[in-house]
Amino acid sequence: MTIRATMRALQQTSLNGPQDLCLITNAPVPSPGPGEVLIRVTAAGVNFVDISQARGTFAGGPQPPYLAGIEGAGEVTAVGEGVTDLEPGAHVIGVGIKGGAFAEYMVLPAAAAVPVPAGWADEQALGLVVNWPTALAALKPLGGIAAGQTVLIHAAAGGTGQAAVKMAKHYGATVIATASPGKHEMVRAQGADHVIDSRGADLAADVLRLTGGAGADLVLESVGGATLDASLAATKRVTGRVVVYGVAGGEAAITNWELVYKHQIHVIGLNIGILIQAAPQIFGEVMGEMFGLLAAGVLSPGQPTAYELAEGPKALAELEARATVDKLALLP
């Protein structure tokens, strides 16, 4: 296969947000280094990380101008030195935290490139390495989900939220989900037992009412901002866990005084990229469990909402405004 020297890509030109994402046509096609593969991107996933990087709030994120996008799926076109288990022609999905997925070609670490399941289109695998492992890690190894427990899942209409609802039900939990009113029916269809308005006046009171005053055993907290305090107040005292894996609604603080006198709970931070680096054994267990859930039909191929590459700024703006449902994909 002949690989062109330049390609179309979306370049982030400032740290003022996704509106400063520009389509360029002369980006150099990258070359795979040792332990890397080059893929021809057929579908790129849109994630809150992309917005965080575009606003400069992602710790250690790239500095503009940079090629945006962390999650890409497509066909391997070249392999770097030392790569023996992937060959050109294979279809894979992976994450490159340095970016470059919103382009016609991107480089991925070979060790982090997961084969697209047989019979799936590349875009159906979006979420396989970001959303789904995040949801599963939050529920199981970190959150300690058990049958009969109650789980509160925020942003339940998004890619991570939907996967979390399905998995939590599979593990025998009662699911309380939050979403904006227009998304409630869709969240119920995923299996949620109760759906409450994410912008309601008193989230904690709603959860306490649904749990007979006890609170949720586990909370999956991806919103932040004012929602974090509501999440802490909605958590069962002493044994309850809150896994924090997102900051979509902005930063929020919790003090040691509050943990001692107000919220006697377990607060756990999750960043899937750090989990992969710092605890590869746990990540391996998560991925093994996830492929078991795929084989059992608990998780099924995604059906992302697709946008052309040039519509990237629009897709990110809609995700940031939480006007979307499920996974978003850019198709180069």
Model confidence at 175: pLDDT above 80: yes
1 has pLDDT over 90: no
**DSSP-based three-state secondary structure for 37:** strand
260 and 317 part of one domain: no
Strand pairing category for 174-179 and 150-153 = parallel
Cα–Cα distance for residue pair 24/251, rounded to 1 Å? 33
Residue 221 lies in a domain: yes
Q: Which of 250, 213, 252, 248 is nearest to 234 (CA)?
A: 213
Same domain membership, residue 266 and residue 146: yes
268 and 142 housed in the same domain: yes
- Asked if 228 and 253 sit in the same domain, the reply is yes
Question: Domain residues for 183?
Answer: 131-272
| Both structure tokens of 131 | 């959303």
Residues 237 and 180 in one domain: yes
Residue 189 in any domain: the answer is yes
In a domain, 245, yes or no: yes
| Structural domain count, the chain | 2
The tens digit of pLDDT for each residue in 125-156 reads 999 999 999 999 999 999 999 999 999 999 99
- Please name the residues in contact with 296: beta carbons below 8 A apart, sequence gap of 6 or more: 170
Residue 24 CA to residue 313 CA, distance in Å, equals 13
User: For residue range 44-70, what is the model confidence (pLDDT) as tens digits?
Assistant: 999 999 999 999 999 889 999 999 999
Domain co-membership, 24 together with 91 = yes
**Which residue, of 257, 272, 287, is where some domain finishes?**
272
Residues 96 and 149 in one domain: no
Give yes or no: residues 170 and 234 share one domain: yes
Give me the CATH number covering residue 320. 3.90.180.10
Q: What is the mean pLDDT of residues 298-324?
A: 93
CA-to-CA separations, 8 to 3, 23, 49, 210, 313, in angstroms, rounded: 13, 7, 21, 50, 15
Can you list the alpha helix ranges (DSSP code H) found in the chain?
A: 48-54, 131-139, 159-170, 184-189, 203-210, 226-233, 256-261, 272-278, 280-295, 312-320
Q: Strands, E, within 13-149: which ranges?
A: 21-28, 36-46, 66-67, 71-79, 91-95, 105-109, 114-115
DSSP code of residue 18: G
Cα 231 from chain centre: 19
Residue 1 lies in a domain: no
CB 132 within 8 A of CB 168: no
* 154 and 176 fall within a common domain: yes
- 165 and 254 housed in the same domain: yes
Q: Domain check: are 142 and 50 in the same one? A: no
Residue 3 pLDDT level (bands cut at 50, 70, 90): low
**Same domain, yes or no, for 138 and 95?**
no
